[in-house]
Structure 1
Amino acid sequence: MSEFTFTPRFASGLLRKALAVSPVVILMGARQAGKSTLVQHEPSLVDHLYLTLDDPGVREQARLAPDDLLRSAPRLVLDEVQRESDLLLAVKRIVDADRPRQYGRFVLTGSANLHLMRQVSESLAGRATYVNLWPLTRRERLGRGEPGIWSALLSSPAKEWATLIEGQAEVSVDWRESVRESGYPVPALELPDQEARALWFDGYVRTYLERDLQALSAVGDLVDFRRLMRAASNRLGGLVNQTEIARDTRIPRATVQRHLNLLETSFQTFRLPAYSVNRTKRLIKSPKLYWSDPALAFWLSGASELTGAHLENLVLVDLLVWREGQVPAPEVLYWRTTTEREVDFVIESGNRVLAIEVKAAAPGYADTTGLRLFREEYGDRFAGGLLLHGGDEVLQMSEGILAAPWWRIL
C-alpha cells in the first residue's frame, strides 16, 4: 500500500488565521471534501485532542454529558458536529465562562452549513469564525495548495493581463479530464479511472441519502430526493425554477423547495446570485444552480457527454475557494438581461467589477457579446473582461477584453 501524502489546502492558512482570533473555529464543507484529513494533519492543531461524532460512544457522551466531553482536553477538535447540533449550546456555555477568552479552543467540523442552521448561528454568534472547505481546485490537485490567479488579475490593469497570464508556467490540460477527475480527494487523487470513480460516486450518494441527509432532516421518500438530485444535475448552470422542477419530477413544489435547501445546506449545491445593479437594461434576478463538484453532477445526470456548463462549474468552484481568503470577501455573481444577454460570472470587489465568460471551445468574437454589453453598461466600474476557453491561445478580443485558456487562470 502506498504511503499517504497530505495534499496542501488553501483553507489551511485560513484556519490558522481563524484560530488566532476566535475561541471557536468551524470548518464546513461537503462530506469527503477533506475536512477530517485537514484537521488531523494541520500542524497548528497538534495540541488539540481529536474526537469524531461518527463514533457512537462520543456521540452518546455528547448527548448525555456534553460539558464533560468538551472539558476532556484543554483544546479540542470535534468532527462532524452537525450529528449532535445541541452540543453547540454547551460550547457556548464553556466559551462564555472562559476568562480570559481562549482563542482557538474548539475546532468544529461539519458536513452541513451550520451558518444556515438558525439554532447554531444564534448560539455561536460573536464566538465563532467560519471557514468553508470546497472540493479541490486544479492547483490543489497539483500540490500547490491554492486557487487560480484571481487576486493578481484584480490588482492589475486589464492591459497587463496578457503578460501576466502568459507568464504562468502551466501545461495545457483538457477541461474534460479535469472535470472527470472530481474535486473530492479520493476520486481525484487515489482512484485510477472512470469506472472506479463511478463506483465511488454510487457509494457516496448512498451514504449521503441514507445517513448524512437524515442527520439534517427526516426525508421520507429517498426515491423522490434522488430524482430531485438528478433533475438539479441536469439543470447545471441554469436558473433555479422550482415550479418547472416540480412539474418535471412530479414532486410537490413545497417539497422541491425543501429538498433544494437541503442540498445547499449540505454543500452539495450552490445557488449563484444575480448581479442586479440596474442601469439601462432590465435584468434577471433569479439565482443559477451549480454543484460543489461538477464530476458528481455529471455522474448524477446520467449524461454521456460533458457540456460547457461543467467547465463553468469548474471555474466557479475555483472562484469560491479564492473568495474564502479575501477580506472583505468579494461578491461572486452572474449577469443576465431579460433579452438573454449574459456574463457567466461577475466578481465585485470594492468599486470594480471583473466580468468572466466561459466557453468550452476555441474563442470567437461573437463569444464576447455579453462582455462587451456589460462593459458598455458599467464602463466606470468595469475592471476588464475575461473569456476563458478550452483552447491554448491568449488573444486580445476587444478593448479591455482578453481571451485566455482556462488552465492558465485556474
Structure 2
Amino acid sequence: GYPGAAALIDDPSRWRNYILHSLIETTISRDILLLTRVDKPALLRRLFELGCLYSGQILSFQKMLGQLQESGNTTTLAHYLKLLEGSGLLVGLHKYAGQKVRQRASSPKLLVLNTALMSACAPYTFEEARTQPEFWGHLVESAVGAWLVNATKGTSIEVFYWSSRNREVDFVLAKGNQRIAIEVKSTRRRTGFSGMEAFAREFPGTKTLLVGGQGIPLKAFLSGDVERLFD
C-alpha cells in the first residue's frame, strides 16, 4: 500500500491529488523517464491511464493503439508496459496456455498493481463507485489480482488469466504442474461458473476457488498466504 496517503483518507480531494502527483507522476518521471530511454513519454503516460481505465480487462495491443489514437507499433507498447510493471504501477497478464510461446502471443489482461491508482484516475467517490456495478466489479477483481501478483513475487508461482470462446477465468495460478483457477465475485448474486468449468475440462486436475460472493470472503482471502492455496 501507500502509507503516505493513509492520513488523507477522509479528504478524497487531497488523497486523489497525492496519489496522482506525489506517487504516479513522481514514479513515471523519476523511476522510468530519468533511468530509461523512452522516445514517446506522452504515449507511456497515456498507456498508464488506459491501464487504469481498463484494469481487470483483456485488451489487445491493436485495440490499445486505437484507443490511444497512436500510430506507433505494438512492440513499443509491450515495452512500455514492461517498464510500468517494473516500476510497480501496471502489469499485463498473459493468457494461460500451457505453452510459453502461446502465452507470450496472447492479448494482455491489464491490471493495476494497487487499486489506489485505479481509484485516483476514476471520476467516482467511494460512495459513487459502489453504485457502479461494472466499475466496482473491475475494482474488486483488480484488488485480488494486484494481491496475487505482489504476493507471488520471489516465488515459483506465476499468475495468468484464461479465456476461450467467451468463457473466462479471472486468474490462474501455476506452480510447476499444479494449477488453481480463481473466479472473483463482487456481489453475492448467484451466477454461473462456465469459465472455471471449461478450464477444468481442458486442464484436468485444476483446483478451483471462488473469491467473494458465495465463496471465500475477500478480507480472508487477501489476508492469507498465497503459497497455502496449493495445499
The match for 2:147 is 318
Report the alpha carbon displacement of residue 198 of structure 1 after superposing the two structures with TM.
0.6
Q: What is the DSSP-based 3-state SS (H/G/I as helix, E as strand, rest coil) of the residue aligned with 2:171?
A: strand
The equivalences for 1:249-288 within 5 A come to 249-254=68-73, 255-277=76-98, 285-288=106-109
Q: Which has the higher helix share?
A: 2
Percent of aligned pairs with the same amino acid? 28
AA matched with 2:206 = F
The match for 1:387 is 210
The equivalences for 1:293-332 within 5 A come to 293-302=114-123, 305=129, 306-324=135-153, 326=155, 329-332=156-159
Q: What is the DSSP-based 3-state SS (H/G/I as helix, E as strand, rest coil) of the residue aligned with 1:253?
A: coil
Report the alpha carbon displacement of residue 199 of structure 1 after superposing the two structures with TM.
1.7
The equivalences for 1:50-65 within 5 A come to none
Asked whether 1:184 is paired with 2:9, we answer no
The equivalences for 1:389-408 within 5 A come to 389=212, 391=213, 403-408=215-220
Name the CA shift for 1:218/1:303 in 2 (closer, same or farther; >3 Å).
Answer: farther
AA matched with 1:409 = F
User: Which of 137, 160, 164 is 1:333 aligned to?
Assistant: 160
The answer to whether the 8 A contact 1:243-1:253 is kept is: no
Structure number with greater CO (CA < 8 Å, separation at least 6) is 1
The answer to whether the 8 A contact 2:90-2:110 is kept is: yes
The answer to whether the 8 A contact 2:111-2:146 is kept is: no
- Once residues 152 and 142 of structure 2 are traced to their aligned partners in structure 1, the CA distance between those partners, rounded to angstroms, is 15
The answer to whether the 8 A contact 1:229-1:300 is kept is: no
The answer to whether the 8 A contact 1:274-1:335 is kept is: yes
Q: What is the DSSP-based 3-state SS (H/G/I as helix, E as strand, rest coil) of the residue aligned with 1:404?
A: coil
Name the CA shift for 1:325/1:364 in 2 (closer, same or farther; >3 Å).
Answer: same
Report the alpha carbon displacement of residue 301 of structure 1 after superposing the two structures with TM.
4.2
- Once residues 171 and 91 of structure 2 are traced to their aligned partners in structure 1, the CA distance between those partners, rounded to angstroms, is 14
- Once residues 197 and 374 of structure 1 are traced to their aligned partners in structure 2, the CA distance between those partners, rounded to angstroms, is 40
The TM-score normalised by the length of structure 2 is: 0.76
Report the alpha carbon displacement of residue 196 of structure 1 after superposing the two structures with TM.
2.7
The answer to whether the 8 A contact 1:344-1:358 is kept is: yes
Gaps of 5+ in 1: 1-182, 279-283, 394-402
The match for 1:226 is 45
Q: What is the DSSP-based 3-state SS (H/G/I as helix, E as strand, rest coil) of the residue aligned with 2:216?
A: strand
Gaps of 5+ in 2: 100-104, 130-134, 223-231
Report the alpha carbon displacement of residue 349 of structure 1 after superposing the two structures with TM.
2.5
The TM-score normalised by the length of structure 1 is: 0.45
The answer to whether the 8 A contact 2:161-2:169 is kept is: yes
- Once residues 93 and 162 of structure 2 are traced to their aligned partners in structure 1, the CA distance between those partners, rounded to angstroms, is 10
Q: What is the DSSP-based 3-state SS (H/G/I as helix, E as strand, rest coil) of the residue aligned with 2:34?
A: helix
Report the alpha carbon displacement of residue 325 of structure 1 after superposing the two structures with TM.
5.6
Answer with 237-246 or 251-260: which moved more: 251-260
User: Which of 19, 35, 44 is 1:216 aligned to?
Assistant: 35
- Deviations 1:199-247, CA, capped at 9 Å, x for gaps: 2112223323433332223446654443332222112122242222222
Name the CA shift for 1:285/1:259 in 2 (closer, same or farther; >3 Å).
Answer: closer
The answer to whether the 8 A contact 1:344-1:357 is kept is: yes
Q: CA RMSD in A?
A: 2.5
- Once residues 95 and 140 of structure 2 are traced to their aligned partners in structure 1, the CA distance between those partners, rounded to angstroms, is 19
Q: What is the DSSP-based 3-state SS (H/G/I as helix, E as strand, rest coil) of the residue aligned with 1:211?
A: helix
Asked whether 1:291 is paired with 2:112, we answer yes
Name the CA shift for 1:303/1:276 in 2 (closer, same or farther; >3 Å).
Answer: farther
Asked whether 1:353 is paired with 2:182, we answer no
